[in-house]
Amino acid sequence: MRRCAISARYSSDLQRQSSNEDQIRGAREYARQKAWLIVEDYVVADSEVSGEAMAGRDGLHRLLEAARTNPLPFDCVLLEDTSRLARNLPDQLRMIDRFAFHGVSVVFFSQGIDTSQQNARTLATLHGMVDEQFLVGLRDKVHRGQHGRVLQGMIPGGRCYGYRNVPIEDPNRTGKYGRPAILGVSPEINGEEAEVVRRMFKMYADGMGVGQSAKQLNREGVPAPVPAKNRLHRAWSRYTVWEMLRNERYRGVLVWNRTKKVRNPETGRKISKSRPESERVRVEVPELRIVPEELWQAVHDRIAHVKDALGIARVGGLSRTRRTYLFSGMLACGECNSSMVIVSGMGKRGYVKYGCHAHKHTGVCQNKWAIRQDRLEEQLLAAIEQRVLQPDMVDYLVKRCEEEIGRRIQELKRQRSDSNLSALRRQRAELQKKAERLIQAIETAGDLGSLTQRLRTVEAEIAGLDRAMAEVRPLNLKITTDELRQRVIRIVMELRELIAAGDPAAAKNALRKHVGRLVLTPAVQNGRRLFQVSGSVDLDPDHNKGRMLLVARDGIEPPTPAFSGLLTDSAKWFGISACLC
């Protein structure tokens, strides 16, 4: 069995103070997995030492001293990664050699490098090269830092209704303006909010629905949680209530690592995905308990009961069905600016209808009009098609486009200068060298993720410079009005085909790219009820140009049974505001 020493290094420019503990915990975990023995006398941590100099590494030097004794007190030294041994490469290699001379190997557990193995020196060299300039895997380290803070009973960011976050000062360090540096925040119960939380649990346990509870709290003017960035209203909704009923912090348990952010490759948007139960971290913090255990149990018994009675699709009153509705996520209520969503007909009865989310779920918006999904989609699609295919529209866009090109040419002429060009060339040459070094490194070591990633970044920078240089080159733009017209028509036709293709998911994707936010304002015109629609269509989303306003104050009839078409003609168009170039 291998006997291990552990060495941690905290560097003030990278890490939180807690990081030494995190590194040591990581090393212990690694040793446990390998069934290695940790020699407790030789677990050392060096703090506040800049990685550039080897001075002040008392802990590490103690390990070196120990390595000279006979018999050896340990067989290997565990470190998180090469940057923990020393920041610069020559020092790292020297340390590895010194330990090796005494028969002690060095293991960098997060990089999987073990100097007793054959390719270790090459790997360490490569990582060392990268360490010199870059913080490898910085994101992972931040993540682990948060993990460590949870284990200390602190909150990794964010606030939670029922608590206030009290900053924890670091007595050993000074932050900005001479005040003590902040280590993190610690939650403390907020008496008034805690009262509301208990009441909410009580309401649900007594048989009230989540939607009813939300409306009741709004009626009484009870201050709701501070809303997320994209919400306009600070109001209780069934979602807020539902989330809170399931938040284990109210029973004195902190759960961390519940979700991770991943990018959806289809849409390019970041979404939260839940992590498996085994990766979650749960810490009991009885002093944070707001809801007594009996009340918590009563609420969760009822949740389980409702789940059984109604089936998974309607847990907590929230529909879990996922259907593609063409315009969901793009429509806004003209009265309160919250989203228009499907508000009825998700069950078996009735038509599926769009309506104001705030009205339905929080009661703070007075707009009670709902419109059948099929009618709304039909009319909106027709409106978009009609407007986008107007000959006037194409003329207008072409004209604006020519203007924009003219303006851009003038701008380029001003910017262009030879000195600028040679500076760009120099930058490019340097990047090119950097890329070649990285390629060599990859050839030597195989395809290490961190190196490949670096190479991609450098290549992207080179491509950026190439584009910048192309802009500096002598201008040779000969775009005729005819060509512009062709281009506008082509884009318009493509959009139309995408929408007409009949596959709701594909159509929705296309619409999402081209259609911005559509605002539906209820209005009565000549005794008829209308939604006035305003919004924009982005004809050329890939270039972020060609944005034009779609409809301004167009009417769509909501509740009349017969489809009456759009009430306006092309004369009512206005505000076409950009070009395609």
Where do contacts with Zn ion occur on this chain (CB under 5 A)?
333, 335-336, 356, 358, 365, 367
- CB of 104 or CB of 358, closer to Zn ion: 358
- CB of 245 or CB of 336, closer to Zn ion: 336
| Cα separation, 45 vs 493, whole angstroms | 66
For residue 249, CA distances in Å to 12, 405, 443 come to 32, 58, 50
Closest separation between CB of residue 140 and Zn ion, Å?
42
**Is the peptide bond between 292 and the residue preceding it cis, with omega within 30 degrees of 0?**
no
- CB of 59 or CB of 363, closer to Zn ion: 363
- CB of 337 or CB of 420, closer to Zn ion: 337
Which run of H or E residues covers position 390?
Answer: none
Closest separation between CB of residue 335 and Zn ion, Å?
4
Closest separation between CB of residue 354 and Zn ion, Å?
12
Structure token digits, residue 145: 């830092």
Q: φ, ψ for residue 107 (rounded to 5)? A: -120, 120
| Cα separation, 354 vs 67, whole angstroms | 73
For residue 499, CA distances in Å to 275, 356, 540, 555 come to 36, 25, 15, 21
In the DSSP assignment, the letter for residue 565 is: -
565: number of Cβ within 10 Å: 14
Structure token digits, residue 181: 């540096």
- CB of 216 or CB of 521, closer to Zn ion: 521
Cβ contact 83:132 at 8 Å? no
List the beta bridge partners of residue 547.
538
Q: φ, ψ for residue 528 (rounded to 5)? A: -110, 145
- CB of 299 or CB of 336, closer to Zn ion: 336
Helix axis angle, 191-205 relative to 238-245, nearest 10°?
90
Closest separation between CB of residue 359 and Zn ion, Å?
5
Closest separation between CB of residue 231 and Zn ion, Å?
12
Which run of H or E residues covers position 329?
Answer: none
Place of tokens 């009417």: 555
For residue 327, CA distances in Å to 107, 233, 268 come to 55, 22, 19
Listed in sequence order, the DSSP H helices in 159-219 are 191-205, 210-219
- CB of 356 or CB of 495, closer to Zn ion: 356
Cβ contact 336:330 at 8 Å? no
Closest separation between CB of residue 515 and Zn ion, Å?
20
Which run of H or E residues covers position 231?
Answer: none
Closest separation between CB of residue 337 and Zn ion, Å?
7
- CB of 358 or CB of 401, closer to Zn ion: 358
Cβ contact 559:371 at 8 Å? yes
- CB of 136 or CB of 333, closer to Zn ion: 333
The answer for residues whose C-beta is within 8 angstroms of residue 311's C-beta and 6 or more apart is: none
Closest separation between CB of residue 236 and Zn ion, Å?
15
- CB of 210 or CB of 336, closer to Zn ion: 336
Closest separation between CB of residue 358 and Zn ion, Å?
5
- CB of 358 or CB of 441, closer to Zn ion: 358
| Cα separation, 441 vs 131, whole angstroms | 13
With 0-12 CB in 10 A as exposed, 13-18 as middle and 19+ as buried, what is 350?
exposed
With 0-12 CB in 10 A as exposed, 13-18 as middle and 19+ as buried, what is 315?
middle
Closest separation between CB of residue 332 and Zn ion, Å?
8
Structure token digits, residue 101: 């001379």
Closest separation between CB of residue 519 and Zn ion, Å?
11
Closest separation between CB of residue 373 and Zn ion, Å?
17
- CB of 366 or CB of 422, closer to Zn ion: 366
Closest separation between CB of residue 372 and Zn ion, Å?
18
Cβ contact 105:121 at 8 Å? no
Single-letter residue type at 104: V
Closest separation between CB of residue 365 and Zn ion, Å?
3
- CB of 333 or CB of 530, closer to Zn ion: 333
- CB of 488 or CB of 519, closer to Zn ion: 519
Cβ contact 6:25 at 8 Å? no
- CB of 82 or CB of 339, closer to Zn ion: 339
| Cα separation, 536 vs 547, whole angstroms | 7
Closest separation between CB of residue 367 and Zn ion, Å?
4
For residue 573, CA distances in Å to 309, 396, 426, 558, 579 come to 53, 11, 50, 21, 16
**Between β-strands 3-9 and 37-46, what pairing exists: parallel, antiparallel or unpaired?**
parallel
